Amino acid sequence: MAVEIPENVVVSRLDALANWSRKNSLWPMPFATACCGIELMATGASRHDLARFGAEVFRFSPRQCDLMIVAGRVVMKMLPVLQRIWQQMLEPKWCISMGACASSGGVFDTYCVVQGIDRFIPVDMYIPGCPPRPEQLIQAIIDLQDKIEREGTISGKEFQQQSRQQRSRALLELPIVEVPSGATTQ
């Protein structure tokens, strides 16, 4: 005998419910170091209205964030700070590399600039351009939301970072830089 479900009851899977909540409540951690940061700020302003996608709550505390947006070039001296903030963010978490500099070093082909942040932290979405427009960042967030929707929850697949990263080889080749004990990152 079929069980009749009342009209005001919705049935779903826990996976789907958790991922739906996650994708519609991304809290970005802005790591804006250069000109791309201005475009990042513009994306959060009223003209582009990031709130339409539930991702407008920028936080400056890594404990509260689940989306790292690296906008601008990262120099080697700054790398331990980036890594520390990334590690302080709780799982599940995602990363967008915004602009040519963050993704590849851009025009700064020099020893002191990181030639792609994916050598040191996992990246989920890359945005091309110098600088990318706010629309491109919004598109990356939409694509990331689709990706989050496809991830597992009960199985804990999202905690196995390598399974959701496309550039795991680079991560293996270049392990995380250790900050010497006693050293400051200021």
Q: State the residues that interact with ligand SF4 by CB under 6 A.
A: 34-36, 72-73, 99-101, 106, 130-131
CA distances (Å), origin 111, targets 75, 77, 122, 167, 172:
9, 11, 21, 21, 21
Rank residues 92 and 131 by Cβ distance to ligand SF4 and give the closer one.
131
Q: Are 72 and 103 in contact (CB under 8 A)?
A: no
Closest contact distance (angstroms) between CB of 71 and ligand SF4 is 7
CA atoms within 13 A on the CB side of 85: 24
d(CA 48, CA 186): 33
Closest contact distance (angstroms) between CB of 27 and ligand SF4 is 23
Closest contact distance (angstroms) between CB of 119 and ligand SF4 is 17
> Which residue, chain included where needed, has tokens 């906008």?
71
- In 83-100, which positions are buried (b, 16+ CB within 10 angstroms) versus exposed (e)? bebbeebeebbbbbbbbb
Rank residues 101 and 123 by Cβ distance to ligand SF4 and give the closer one.
101
CA atoms within 13 A on the CB side of 138: 18
Rank residues 29 and 148 by Cβ distance to ligand SF4 and give the closer one.
29
Closest contact distance (angstroms) between CB of 163 and ligand SF4 is 29
Rank residues 36 and 68 by Cβ distance to ligand SF4 and give the closer one.
36
Rank residues 23 and 73 by Cβ distance to ligand SF4 and give the closer one.
73
Closest contact distance (angstroms) between CB of 29 and ligand SF4 is 17
